[in-house]
């Protein structure tokens, strides 16, 4: 029983690994296309977000943790946005 | 310490895991603050000094990304092995993780040498300053992670603190190691690709 | 606990102790010493402000030549003392007292926990803080003296300053690390280790205040750490994160890549330092709430409103930082946004104050010394809060920004507000710490003198601010617009000296009572919260048996009971 | 000049000073009203509910109506603040900080702060500021004005003490060449940080003739307290006379200095 479960887990891990590798290749490939600045940045950040979510959800088991831990992590991301948005409005442009 | 945890736990989440996640939240803010500064000055500074793409060494950085991702998956496989009681597999996966950590640092040092020989130093431009600050701090975290991983490997083989029934600390080391990976996932495109 | 454990040695018990109570007392004594140190710096500065250019009496001759040749303070030294006064008072004085000392000692007791979640981390937190303090004081030995760019350390002044500034940053990194350790510990303890039955809405307000404070520290401090790393590199590695191109320092062009932004440091700094203000005030509010409920013998008015307001304050405090930067050259549109959020954050503060005052209604107020401090907090914090209004309001801030009005405002909040409440906390929990009481009569004398002299120092600052006197002036009298109000400086300095003398009452009372004070019973204030449900002082492990909680924290004067207090852990 | 100052606000010497003062007075009156009302209630509670024989605390029975009552002060404060900031304040702030006079309708000057002086750069009759370059800075050329630039020929640079004409707004482009300073003239009720790497516009329209202190209000180093300039508000005629007289003196001095430099050259 326990072994069955962990076999399934190992499959998931390897699938996630594959996805991460593909996404890495993808982001490098996209960067060679010389897209205009805004879509290029948006795409790169989007791919990074997907990769980071995969790692936190599966490798860090966020998916099976309760809401508390997800809340802690998301709260820090939220406050990061609170920091970056006004400052980028002020200095960034 | 474990007796305290046994007597009182309102959430069911071990203290160590909760503490580790809180620590990671603060690390998000630390790296986030630095990355925000980078993004802000990259868009706002009149002379950021972004070097030509050819000088950035994208292939090496891509390789390093693969190295870290692989070490992450071997870390989580090591945890899985420990939970199932497969100690030799645990040992091999941990050794792989630690080795890949060193490989990452090796490639990174080569990159540093390469950058400096091309005239990109910490004082040459804002890009250089941010490049060495961000990757340097990340490398320090990698070193910290390797130390933690070696501790976990030794304890896992001794079997007293970490064993199939108490894999907690192995899990915390994993959380930290994956977090270091996540930071790199953001550093890589932001520094090298755009 | 374990029978094989041998009796701990003196060092294990009192120096490198893992017991949260000992660590809390270590924090308390250390932070009080730092408060006195920071205060004495200010006395030297206040002499210079009152009598510019006159030799400092008595201690002037003992000061080293680079601070006060012939007893007269030099401008460099004035700036150094100013920067160190701010840093020491905030990061080494009030925060460690409110969070490190009371949080450590009282929080586990109030939630019925045997200790903190991570005792070793707790010990490290104290020793890292201690190291930070040593580093800060040690910066006086640097060539050129300690930091002299103010506690805000604005770049580029801080980047071109002498080596003391580097030591300042290193000291700050120690203090940040200590606070991070502490906040992780507090949060895990409060989340996981509450006694059975102690639901979130049965927690005492003080615990809530500590939880919100810990979240603020956890989220905001790393951003300052990031900023400090960048500033450190600007200083030691020659980078230019905060240095624009083309600067000319002392007539010499600066050879750096340039391109950095001066305002970036201010954003990173105030993103921490505004939440830090709430870190200073929230524990004090928590203490006042505890004492008020106990002293009025009735439940707090609007427990849920107070807790909700605290959470709301904590959340909003991340949205207001740039109101320190209205005149910094920040975009005017942002100023409008931040003045709005600043306006919104005043609402929960008013709500808390209103609830605390309405708590008095229908009470039976016992005027014992802790109650005096708590009651003193209310109008003084009121003044501090109200005078924030013309500063948060963009229009009037144009005139009042960086004048003594600002100094008066935050000293009313932090000194007559927080510090008075923290003194009240010391008096209130002293029987818990040592099983003895502080002398009631001397406490009352100390309270009244302190309140009078504090107002004597800080109220004239508003007069000066209205007259346009700027902050951080070594010699205010050489600017014409400051001359007429100069007599207030003499009055303030005299008050400051008297305040210092008054504190000796407290210090003597504290140490005398520690050994010779009147012994008290377990629950001398007839309080309801869990910290009084264990012996005073509590033994290692705190509770003889794990308490179970049956009701809210402030069940005083419940009808139909023989006593007017109903402890949280009493089963009937 | 001492007569400008007293125990309260300094005299009002600019067009928006009065608006500023009425805001200050309004805010302070409301603060006093709030504090007094609230203090009276506080004092009443302290006396009325003191502990004494035969008086017991009342255990409150929570009612929704009771709880709502506690929000009354909040609502009042919030309403007052909304009015203060949006209706009363925003237009004044926009007037002072957002709506600048046109350069051609005003006395347009550039002030470069340094440790510990104010360098005032007048563009001269052509209205164009000459090019400046940090590498040209020396003791006689504090802002590094490039003499080769034709626009700089009629420019005038003075340190600390400068004149402006009455009847026109002054538009100041504010910057700094080393650390952050802050431009503060109490009588004008204007304050703005001078930030290195940024050029920040400030404007003020003086309404009184006379000399006013320009002080630094941001800690800028050891000489912060003695970083004082003087703004002299003249009639337009006096201003023109001052400007031309000073320009002539400076040119003569330059010629003399050049001649002295030539004389000092050793013969080759």
Q: Is A89 on the interface with C (CB under 8 A)?
A: yes
What pLDDT sits at residue B5? Answer: 41
Distance CA A41, CA A43 (A): 5
User: Cβ contact (<8 Å) for B193 and A28?
Assistant: yes
Taking only the tens place, the pLDDT of each residue in A1-55 is: 456 677 888 999 999 999 999 999 999 998 888 888 888 888 999 999 999 999 9
Cβ distance C229 to B137 less than 8 Å, yes or no, reads: yes
Q: What are C515-532's pLDDT values in tens digits?
A: 999 999 889 999 999 999
Closest CA to A87 of C347, C331, C259: C331
Q: Is the pLDDT of residue B154 over 90?
A: yes
Q: Which residue of A has its CA nearest to C271?
A: A83
C470/D184 CB distance under 8 A = yes
At C11, the pLDDT band (50, 70, 90 cuts) reads confident
Task: Decide if C148 touches D, using CB distance below 8 A.
Answer: yes
Instruction: Find the CB nearest A79 among B13, B29, B75.
Output: B29
For residue D234, what are the β-bridge partners?
D165
pLDDT for residue C70 is more than 50: yes
Under an 8 A CB cutoff, do B15 and C237 touch?
A: no
User: What are C242-275's pLDDT values in tens digits?
Assistant: 999 989 998 888 888 889 999 999 999 999 999 9
Overall average pLDDT of the C155-184 stretch: 94
Please say whether the beta carbons of C86 and C472 come within 8 A. Answer: no
Q: Average pLDDT in the D194-205 region?
A: 94
Query: ω into residue C544 within 30 of 0, thus cis?
Result: no
Structure tokens at C204: 């005492």
CB contact, 8 Å: C62 with chain D?
Answer: no
Chain A's closest residue to C261, CA to CA, is A91
Q: Is the peptide bond before C156 cis (omega within 30 degrees of 0)?
A: yes
D256 token code pair? 């003399």
- pLDDT value, residue A66: 83
Q: Name the architecture of domain D103-261.
A: Sandwich (2.60)
**Residues of chain A positioned with their CB less than 8 A from the CB of B26:** 76
Q: Do C218 and B44 touch (CB under 8 A)?
A: no
> Would you call C261 and D197 a contact, using CB atoms and an 8 Å cutoff?
yes
- Chain C residue with minimum CA distance to D132: C246
pLDDT surpasses 50 at B1: no
Token couple for C435: 């099983």
Q: In this complex, do A69 and B18 lie within 8 Å of one another by their Cβ atoms?
A: yes
How many domains are there within chain C?
1
CB–CB contacts below 8 A, A to C: 31
Residue percentage of chain D with pLDDT more than 70: 94
Please, what is the average pLDDT of chain C?
93
Interface membership of A39 toward C (CB under 8 Å): no
Q: Using CB atoms, which chains have 3+ pairs under 8 A with C?
A: A, B, D
pLDDT in tens, C88-124: 999 999 999 999 999 999 999 999 999 999 999 999 9
Cα R_g (chain B), whole angstroms: 19
Which residues of D fall within a CB distance of 8 Å from C262?
180, 195-198
Domains, in order of start, for chain B: 11-193 (1.20.120.80)
Distance separating alpha carbons of residues C487 and D101, to the nearest angstrom = 41
**Interchain contact C191–D (C-beta under 8 A):** no
Q: What is the edge-to-edge ordering of all strands in the sheet holding D190-194?
A: D161-165, D228-234, D210-216, D181-185, D190-194
The 3-class SS string of C331-391 reads CHHHHHHHHHHHHHHHHHHHHHHHHHHHCCCCCCECCCHHHHHHHHHHHHHHHHHHCCHHH
When pLDDT is cut at 50, 70 and 90, the band that residue C6 belongs to is: low
8 A C-beta contact, residue B47 and residue B125: yes
Q: What is the mean pLDDT of residues D245-259?
A: 87
Shortest Cα–Cα distance, B171 to chain A (Å)? 9
At B4 the pLDDT is 44
Residue A73 pLDDT > 50: yes
Place D64 in a pLDDT band, splitting at 50, 70 and 90: low
Tell me whether residues B193 and A66 touch, CB distance under 8 A. Answer: no
Query: Out of A25-34, C305-314, D57-66, which region has the weakest mean confidence (pLDDT)?
Result: D57-66
| Interatomic CA distance for residues D258 and D251, integer angstroms | 10
CB contact D217 to C (< 8 Å): yes
How far is the alpha carbon of D267 from chain C, nearest alpha carbon, in Å? 31
Residue D58 sits at the chain C interface (C-beta within 8 Å):
yes
User: Under an 8 A CB cutoff, do C331 and A83 touch?
Assistant: no
Q: B62: which chain A residues are within 8 Å (Cβ-Cβ)?
A: 24, 28
Q: Do A79 and C263 touch (CB under 8 A)?
A: no
Pick A72's closest partner by Cβ from B22, B62, B194: B22
* C contact residues 211-270, partner D, Cβ 8 Å cutoff: 244-251, 253, 258, 260-263
Model pLDDT for residues C439-472, shown as the tens digit of each residue:
999 999 999 999 999 999 999 999 999 999 999 9
User: Taking Cα atoms as reference points, which of C567, C527, C546, C529 lies closest to residue C114?
Assistant: C546
For chain A, positions 46-75, list CB contacts with chain C under 8 A.
68, 75
Chain C residue closest in CA terms to A90: C331
* pTM for the structure as a whole: 0.94
Residue to test with chain B: of A69, A75, A81, A90, most B Cβ within 10 A = A69
The percentage of chain C sitting over the pLDDT mark of 70, rounded to a whole number, equals 99
- CB nearest to C329's CB, from D27, D186, D195: D195
Mean per-residue pLDDT for D200-217?
94
Residue whose structure tokens are 């076999």: A7
Which pLDDT value is given to residue A1? Answer: 43
CA–CA–CA angle C5, C8, C13 (5° rounding) = 140
* Chain C residues close to A82, C-beta within 8 Å: 318-319
Interface test with B, best of C223, C257, C330 (most B CBs within 10 A): C257
Indicate yes or no: CB of A90 within 8 angstroms of CB of C331.
yes
Q: Hunting for tokens 């030995």 — which residue is that?
A: C141
- Chain D, window 237-256: residues with a beta carbon less than 8 angstroms from a chain C beta carbon: none
Q: Looking at the predicted structure, is the pLDDT value of residue C2 above 70?
A: no
Has residue D239 got a pLDDT over 90? yes
List chain D residues with CB under 8 Å of C379.
Answer: 35, 39, 42
Among A57-66, B132-141, C172-181, D181-190, name the one with the lowest average pLDDT: A57-66
Cβ pairs bridging B and C (under 8 Å): 142
Q: Does A82 touch chain C (CB under 8 A)?
A: yes
CA distance D194 to C179: 34
pLDDT of residue B2: 39
Q: Which residue on chain B is closest to A88 by alpha carbon?
A: B40
Mean pLDDT, rounded, for B137-165: 94
The distance of D123 to chain C (nearest Cα, Å) reads: 21
Out of C223, C264, C333, name the one closest to residue A91 (CB): C264
What's the confidence (pLDDT) of residue D67?
64
Nearest CB neighbour to C263, from listed A76, A83, A91? A91
Instruction: Supply the pLDDT for residue C56.
Output: 93
Cα angle C70, C76, C80 (rounded to 5 degrees) comes to 110
Domain ranges, residue C337: 14-243+256-533
Query: To probe the interface with A, which of B13, B38, B39, B40 has the most A CB atoms within 10 Å?
Result: B40
CB atoms within 10 A of CB C269: 24
User: C367-390, pLDDT tens digit by residue?
Assistant: 999 999 999 999 999 999 999 999
Chains that touch D (3 or more CB pairs under 8 A): C
Report the percent of chain C where pLDDT is more than 90. Answer: 81
Of A3, A10, A55, the CB nearest to B72: A55
Q: Are C245 and C258 in contact (CB under 8 A)?
A: yes
By C-alpha distance, the chain D residue nearest C304 is: D67
The predicted-structure confidence for B61-119, as pLDDT tens digits, reads as follows 999 999 999 999 999 999 999 999 999 999 999 999 999 999 999 999 999 999 999 88
Average pLDDT over residues A63-79: 91
Instruction: Tally Cβ neighbours within 10 Å of residue D86.
Output: 14
- D186 near C CB under 8 A: yes
What's the whole-number mean pLDDT along residues B169-181? 95
- Please tell me the distance in Å from D12's CA to the nearest CA on chain C: 12
- The CA-to-CA distance between both ends of chain C, in Å, stands at 30
Residue B18 predicted with pLDDT over 50: yes
Q: How confident is the model at residue C1 (pLDDT cuts 50, 70, 90)?
A: very low
CATH number of C404's domain: 1.20.210.10
**Min CA distance, D244 vs chain C (Å)?**
28
Crossing angle for the helix pair B168-188 and B126-158, to the nearest 10 degrees: 160
Rounded Cα distance between D55 and C365, Å, is: 10
Q: Which chain A residues are within 8 Å of B78, Cβ to Cβ?
A: none
Chain A residue with CA closest to B30: the answer is A80
Query: Would you list the domain boundaries of chain D?
Result: 11-51+61-97, 103-261
| pLDDT higher than 70, residue B134 | yes
3-state secondary structure C412-477: HHHHHHHHHHHHHHHHHHHHHHHCECCCHHHHHHHHHHHHHHHHHHHHHHHHHHHHCCECCCCCHH
């Amino acid at each position: 029983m326990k072994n069955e479960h962990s076999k399934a887990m190992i499959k998931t891990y390897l699938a996630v690994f594959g996805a991460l590798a593909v996404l890495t290749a993808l982001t490098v490939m996209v960067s060679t296309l010389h897209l205009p600045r805004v879509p290029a940045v948006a795409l790169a950040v989007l791919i990074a977000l997907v990769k980071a979510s995969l790692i936190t959800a599966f490798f860090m088991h966020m998916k099976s943790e309760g809401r508390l831990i997800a809340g802690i992590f998301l709260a820090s991301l939220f406050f990061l946005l609170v920091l970056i948005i006004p400052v980028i409005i002020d200095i960034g442009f | 310490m474990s007796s305290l945890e046994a007597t009182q736990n309102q959430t069911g989440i071990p203290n160590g895991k909760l503490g580790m996640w809180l620590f990671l939240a603060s690390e998000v803010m630390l790296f986030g603050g630095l990355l925000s500064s980078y993004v802000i000055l990259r868009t706002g500074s009149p002379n950021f000094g972004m070097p030509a793409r050819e000088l950035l060494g994208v292939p090496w950085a891509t390789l390093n990304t693969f190295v870290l991702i692989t070490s992450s998956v071997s870390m989580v496989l090591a945890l899985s092995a420990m939970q199932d009681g497969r100690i030799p597999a645990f040992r091999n996966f941990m050794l792989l993780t630690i080795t890949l950590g060193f490989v990452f640092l090796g490639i990174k040092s080569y990159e540093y040498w390469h950058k400096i020989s091309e005239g990109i130093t910490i004082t040459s431009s804002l890009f250089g300053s941010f490049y060495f600050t961000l990757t340097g701090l990340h490398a320090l975290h990698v070193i910290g992670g390797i130390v933690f991983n070696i501790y976990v490997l030794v304890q896992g083989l001794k079997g007293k603190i970490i064993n199939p029934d108490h894999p907690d600390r192995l899990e915390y080391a994993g959380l930290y190691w994956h977090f270091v990976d996540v930071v790199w996932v953001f550093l890589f495109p932001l520094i090298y690709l755009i | 606990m374990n029978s094989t454990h041998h009796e701990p040695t003196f060092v294990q018990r009192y120096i490198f102790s893992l017991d949260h109570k000992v660590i809390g007392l270590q924090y308390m004594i250390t932070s009080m010493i730092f408060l006195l140190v920071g205060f004495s710096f200010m006395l030297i500065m206040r002499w210079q402000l009152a009598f510019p250019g006159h030799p400092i009496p008595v201690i002037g001759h003992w000061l080293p030549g680079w601070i006060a040749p012939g007893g007269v303070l030099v401008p460099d030294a004035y700036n150094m003392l100013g920067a160190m006064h701010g840093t020491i008072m905030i990061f080494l004085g009030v925060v460690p007292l409110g969070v490190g000392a009371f949080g450590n000692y009282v929080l586990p007791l109030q939630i019925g926990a045997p200790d903190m979640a991570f005792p070793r981390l707790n010990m490290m937190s104290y020793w890292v803080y201690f190291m930070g303090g040593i580093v800060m004081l040690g910066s006086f030995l640097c060539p050129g003296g300690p930091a002299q760019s103010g506690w805000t350390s604005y770049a580029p002044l801080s980047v071109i300053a002498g080596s003391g500034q580097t030591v300042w940053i290193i000291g700050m990194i120690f203090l940040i690390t200590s606070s991070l350790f502490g906040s992780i510990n507090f949060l895990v303890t409060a989340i996981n280790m509450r006694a059975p039955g102690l639901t979130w809405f049965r927690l005492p307000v003080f615990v809530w205040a500590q939880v919100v404070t810990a979240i603020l520290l956890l989220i905001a401090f790393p951003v300052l750490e990031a900023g400090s790393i960048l500033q450190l590199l600007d200083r030691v590695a020659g980078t230019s994160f905060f240095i624009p191109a083309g600067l000319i320092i002392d007539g010499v062009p600066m050879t750096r890549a340039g391109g950095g932004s001066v305002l970036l440091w201010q954003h990173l700094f105030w993103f921490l330092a505004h939440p830090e203000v709430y870190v200073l005030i929230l524990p004090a509010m928590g203490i006042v709430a505890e004492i008020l409920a106990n002293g009025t013998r009735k439940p707090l008015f609007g427990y849920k409103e107070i807790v909700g307001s605290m959470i709301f304050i904590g959340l909003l405090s991340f949205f207001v930082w740039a109101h320190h930067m209205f005149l910094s050259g920040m975009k005017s549109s942002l100023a409008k946004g931040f003045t709005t959020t600043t306006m919104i954050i005043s609402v929960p503060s008013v709500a808390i104050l209103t609830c605390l005052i309405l708590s008095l209604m229908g009470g039976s107020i016992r005027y014992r010394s802790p109650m005096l401090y708590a009651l003193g907090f209310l109008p003084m914090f009121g003044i501090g809060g109200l005078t924030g209004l013309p500063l948060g309001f963009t229009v009037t801030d144009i005139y009042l920004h960086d004048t003594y009005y600002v100094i008066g405002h935050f000293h009313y909040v932090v000194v007559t507000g927080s510090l008075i409440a923290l003194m009240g906390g010391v008096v209130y929990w002293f029987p818990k710490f040592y099983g003895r009481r502080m002398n009631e009569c001397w406490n009352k004398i100390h309270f009244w003198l302190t309140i009078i002299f504090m107002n004597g120092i800080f109220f004239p600052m508003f007069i000066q601010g209205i007259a346009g006197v700027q902050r951080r002036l070594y010699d205010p009298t050489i600017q014409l617009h400051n001359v007429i109000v100069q007599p207030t400086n003499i009055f303030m300095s005299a008050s400051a000296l008297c305040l210092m003398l008054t504190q000796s009452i407290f210090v003597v009372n504290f140490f005398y009572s520690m050994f010779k004070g009147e012994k008290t019973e377990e629950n001398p204030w007839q309080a309801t919260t869990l910290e009084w449900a264990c012996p005073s002082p509590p033994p290692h492990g705190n509770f003889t048996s794990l308490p179970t909680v049956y009701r809210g924290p402030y069940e005083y004067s419940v009808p139909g009971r023989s006593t007017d207090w109903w402890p949280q852990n009493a089963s009937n | 000049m001492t007569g400008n100052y007293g125990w309260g606000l300094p005299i009002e010497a600019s067009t928006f000073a009065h608006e500023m003062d009425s805001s200050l007075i309004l805010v302070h009156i409301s603060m006093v009203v709030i504090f007094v009302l609230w203090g009276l209630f506080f004092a009443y509670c302290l006396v009325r509910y003191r502990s004494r024989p035969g008086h017991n605390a009342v255990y409150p029975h929570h009612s929704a109506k009771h709880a709502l009552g506690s929000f009354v002060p909040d609502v009042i404060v919030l309403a007052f603040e909304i009015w203060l900031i949006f209706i009363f304040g925003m237009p004044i702030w926009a007037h002072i900080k957002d709506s600048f006079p046109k350069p051609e309708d005003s006395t347009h000057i550039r002030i470069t702060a340094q440790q510990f002086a104010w360098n005032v750069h007048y563009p001269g009759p052509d209205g164009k500021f000459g090019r400046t370059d940090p590498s040209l800075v020396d003791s006689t050329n504090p802002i590094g004005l490039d003499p080769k630039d034709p626009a700089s020929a009629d420019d005038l640079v003075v340190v600390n003490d400068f004149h402006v004409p009455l009847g026109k707004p002054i538009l100041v482009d504010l910057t700094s060449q080393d650390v952050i300073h802050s431009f503060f003239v109490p009588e004008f009720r204007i304050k703005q940080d001078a930030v290195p790497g940024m050029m920040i516009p400030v404007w003020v329209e003086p309404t009184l003739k006379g000399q006013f202190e320009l002080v630094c209000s941001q800690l800028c180093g050891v000489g912060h307290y003695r970083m004082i300039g003087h703004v002299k508000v003249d009639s337009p005629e006096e201003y023109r006379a001052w400007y031309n007289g000073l320009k002539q003196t400076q040119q003569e001095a330059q010629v003399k200095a050049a001649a002295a430099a030539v004389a000092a050259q050793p013969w080759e």
